[in-house]
Structure 1
Amino acid sequence: MLSEDTKTIVKSTVPVLEEHGVDITTVFYRRMFEAHPELLNIFNHANQAQGRQQTALAKAVYAAAVHIDNLEEILPAVVQIAHKHVSLGIKPEHYPIVGEYLLKAMKEVLGDAATDEIIEAWGEAYGVIADAFISVEKDMYEQAASQENGWNYFKDFVVARKVKESDVITSFYLRPADGSNVPPYTAGQYISVRLSMPDNEYLVIRQYSLSQASKPDEFRISVKRESDNDPNGVVSNYLHKHVNEGDTIEVSPPAGIFVLDVEKTTPIAFISGGVGITPMMSMFETVATSTPERPTVFLHGARNRLQHAFDDDIKAYSEKMENAKYKTVYSDEENGFITREMLEQYVDTSGDAYVCGPTVFMEIMIRELRNIGMPEERIHYEFFGPAMDLNTN
């Protein structure tokens, strides 16, 4: 427990963190990587280069300061981030390293304003937050390893099949190299893929949604090929161009909290844009095969027909369901967007909606769902990208 004096001191730094947070986290990452380059095997280099992770971490530190007298407020974020950590293989011994260089960065950027009293208070606060992460992640690791066919960290998988789904999306069917089966997972979860790439000194890790309902013998990920000039596309391009059937890659156990509530039978709507269709396929297939009577809507936005993946699959599942509606729009065509009017026409606001896609798309869909009267607690989403946390990609 933190003392009231410590909470008061940490809370007093909120204005400073609001103004100088990104400067602090930028120095933090630079100094930490200089001293511990091995951590570059964990971090997403593209997010670092673009400043996305620095900004995300600055927001996380700011949020911790704001809620320091009631850290339970940020517990949902802790759980979400812990899932990412477990998927990436974060270990307890990483936390002291992060704490050391975060405090050093505060001192370097703030100078005399970062008094010994402030640094000591933040050190104590960081220790409490780190202990919370370590405890939550310990339970997750134990659960992942103890379940049938489970494991911790990374395991070799073989690409059993490679299937082109559209002009930009390709699916990879992955099976354990040791011939075992895979653990069951909840529709909507993701795995991490770890690769050693030519001309790259460090390992690279990316997280991809599992794009089919849980199967006993395989995982499927469906990867969008980004532009060659997009720094975020280094790994996706490598997978598309160089990873083929029979190749081996490393895979982490399933993780994530953006998942389908399989207990419900009330109306449900899946609303996706672009490659955001991938977790929706896992969810939709699960509903179609386990509760086909459930009233279901699938709305999807793509750039054009050539970039639209899984169209035939969704139609096939829909035909076997008792009450399913499927609508696609293409932004290259006139009026090719999911509108409020379309949501009003298709979405039953007494049920649940799951939203996934590019950030702007999600922001618009979430806002419009609220506008048509869907309660906040029944709108489910997760913004993918750098975790707003103290450690990782």
Structure 2
Amino acid sequence: MLSETQRTTLAATLPAVQGALADITASFYRGLFTAHPDLLDNLFNRTHQKTGEQPQALAGSIAAFAALQLEPDVRRQRFILDRIAHKHASLGVTRAQYDVVHEHLFAAIVEILGDAVTPPVADAWDQLYWDMADLLIEKEASLYAQAGVKPGQVWHDAIVAERVQVSPDTISLTLAGDGESLPGFRPGQYISVQVPLADGARQIRQYSLTGSPTDDRWTFSVKLAGEVSAYLHEQVFEGDRLHVSTPFGDLVLPDDDMPVVLASAGIGCTPVIGLLTALANDQDRRPVTVLHADRSRNRQPHRGQLAALVDKLPNGRLYQWYENGAGHLESPSIRVGTMTLDDIDIADDAHVMLCGPGGFLAGMREQLVSREVPESQIHYETFGPELLRSAAR
């Protein structure tokens, strides 16, 4: 834990480090992948490396965590760490990998900041890193224990039992156990899927489970948008095996009966489908408001299933926005344009659960905060650089 001396040093150097984080993270990943090229091929999302999203996410998490050591906020700290821990657990991250990251991260800090990294500065930032790492290691150990697996031992094979086209560019795959039952899951959680690519890499992506947790099968949907999804679309059919992880993810229904607002965009509807399936199966009587935004109706995945699940709820309401192609259907429940909360009723005690791209999540959060929805009632499927910066404020 940071001492008062280390905290003072951290406060004095935080602006300089924040200003150099883009360069530090770029240097970090260069060094890491030079020393361990297998990590780029078989663990990290190399598409996000090319676009810069992964370095942004790392920089955002470090900056947010550092700021929260100066102005402690337990809820916001959990906002960052819980999502990272679930993602790490779904990848099978272990304690030893934090040592590797530490080595290359601090080499990058010294490379970029040079003589400014005096022994006291190095000591303070080293302590910060291990404070964050130890919290993540502890949380991940708890997640592994809850899942009934040893740390990192999350991978196994499953058989594709069914493949269905759910939109022009989205397929749904249903998996069955390969000789043993698949582990249970909570509605809203996701699995990691690892696939072999033509260049020898084994890339990993996460997909939300859309089926019922009472079934002995897993169902998830894949939109065609990258090298892993292309492999799944072109190479995976009934009877094939997939290498998948135990389910993880913290976007699950809170343990109360408060009203729920589920807002999603595009393929972000998939965790919503999982949550709605559970609510519909239970005939849950709480007020459930479902908001979904998409580019067009003809390419919307799970369009019919979304409406059917809401119809099964005693107190369910559905509003949908389309950027184009729905002007002739415009009505109180179908709108043209981007999602807005201007005329949507949100109960004071409602849980709001957001699922979609980073820009959508950030925009929705701003609207919710302007509506004075407490941040403790706003839940996210994933973290992104924009949201991490907001969490640090």
TM-score grouping bracket, smaller chain normalisation? 0.7 to 0.9
Partner in structure 1 of residue 300 of structure 2: 308
2:76 maps to 1:83: no
2:105 maps to 1:112: no
What CA distance in whole angstroms lies between the structure 2 residues aligned with 1:219 and 1:280? 15
Inter-CA distance 79–216: structure 2 relative to 1 (3 Å threshold):
same
1:276-287 superposed matches below 5 A = 276-287=268-279
- 1:246-300 Cα offsets, whole Å, 9 max, x none, are 1111111111111112531x33222221111100001111111113433222222
Partner in structure 2 of residue 229 of structure 1: none
Partner in structure 1 of residue 102 of structure 2: 99
Counterpart residue type for residue 355 of structure 1: L
Inter-CA distance 86–146: structure 2 relative to 1 (3 Å threshold):
closer
Number of aligned pairs? 375
Root-mean-square deviation (Å) = 2.5
Partner in structure 2 of residue 253 of structure 1: 246
Contact 2:89 2:152 in 1 (8 A): no
1:31-110 superposed matches below 5 A = 31-40=31-40, 41-69=42-70, 70=72, 72=74, 74-110=77-113
Q: CA deviation at 1:197?
A: 1.2
> Which range is displaced more, 290-299 or 271-280?
290-299
Partner in structure 1 of residue 211 of structure 2: 212
Q: CA deviation at 1:184?
A: 2.3
1:273-352 superposed matches below 5 A = 273-333=265-325, 334=327, 336-337=336-337, 338-344=339-345, 347-352=346-351
What CA distance in whole angstroms lies between the structure 2 residues aligned with 1:320 and 1:59? 40
Contact 1:162 1:244 in 2 (8 A): yes
What CA distance in whole angstroms lies between the structure 1 residues aligned with 2:7 and 2:350? 41
1:224-263 superposed matches below 5 A = 224-226=223-225, 233-261=226-254, 263=256
2:175 maps to 1:174: yes
Inter-CA distance 215–15: structure 2 relative to 1 (3 Å threshold):
same
- 1:179-224 Cα offsets, whole Å, 9 max, x none, are x22222221111111111112x321010111122313311111111
Q: Can you give the 5+ residue segments of structure 2 that lack an aligned partner in the other structure?
A: 328-334, 389-393
Counterpart residue type for residue 241 of structure 1: E
SS at match of 1:126: helix
Match of 1:134 among 126, 129, 137: 137
SS at match of 2:172: strand
Q: CA deviation at 1:13?
A: 1.7
- 1:320-364 Cα offsets, whole Å, 9 max, x none, are 3322222333211345133334424xx445433322223333333
Contact 2:195 2:203 in 1 (8 A): yes
- 1:118-153 Cα offsets, whole Å, 9 max, x none, are 223322332332222222212221221269xx9932
Partner in structure 1 of residue 332 of structure 2: none
Q: CA deviation at 1:94?
A: 0.7
Inter-CA distance 42–323: structure 2 relative to 1 (3 Å threshold):
same
Inter-CA distance 241–385: structure 2 relative to 1 (3 Å threshold):
farther
SS at match of 2:69: coil
Inter-CA distance 358–136: structure 2 relative to 1 (3 Å threshold):
closer
Contact 1:13 1:65 in 2 (8 A): no
Counterpart residue type for residue 173 of structure 1: T
What CA distance in whole angstroms lies between the structure 1 residues aligned with 2:46 and 2:196? 14
Inter-CA distance 105–272: structure 2 relative to 1 (3 Å threshold):
same
Counterpart residue type for residue 238 of structure 1: Y
What CA distance in whole angstroms lies between the structure 2 residues aligned with 1:71 and 1:102? 25
Contact 2:210 2:277 in 1 (8 A): no
Partner in structure 2 of residue 391 of structure 1: none
Contact 2:32 2:101 in 1 (8 A): yes
Inter-CA distance 385–224: structure 2 relative to 1 (3 Å threshold):
farther
Counterpart residue type for residue 54 of structure 2: Q
Contact 2:191 2:207 in 1 (8 A): yes
Q: CA deviation at 1:38?
A: 2.5
- 1:22-76 Cα offsets, whole Å, 9 max, x none, are 1011111111111122222211101111111112212222233323354856243
Partner in structure 2 of residue 269 of structure 1: 261
What CA distance in whole angstroms lies between the structure 2 residues aligned with 1:320 and 1:373? 30
2:206 maps to 1:203: no
Inter-CA distance 38–142: structure 2 relative to 1 (3 Å threshold):
same
With normalisation by structure 2, the TM-score equals: 0.87
What CA distance in whole angstroms lies between the structure 2 residues aligned with 1:318 and 1:116? 59
Partner in structure 1 of residue 14 of structure 2: 14
> Which range is displaced more, 52-61 or 250-259?
52-61
SS at match of 1:68: helix
What CA distance in whole angstroms lies between the structure 1 residues aligned with 2:19 and 2:371? 37
Partner in structure 2 of residue 194 of structure 1: 194
SS at match of 1:221: strand
What CA distance in whole angstroms lies between the structure 2 residues aligned with 1:271 and 1:71? 26
What CA distance in whole angstroms lies between the structure 1 residues aligned with 2:56 and 2:384? 12
Q: CA deviation at 1:159?
A: 1.0
Counterpart residue type for residue 178 of structure 2: A
Partner in structure 1 of residue 153 of structure 2: 152
> Which range is displaced more, 206-215 or 64-73?
64-73
Partner in structure 2 of residue 28 of structure 1: 28
Counterpart residue type for residue 315 of structure 1: A
Inter-CA distance 349–24: structure 2 relative to 1 (3 Å threshold):
same
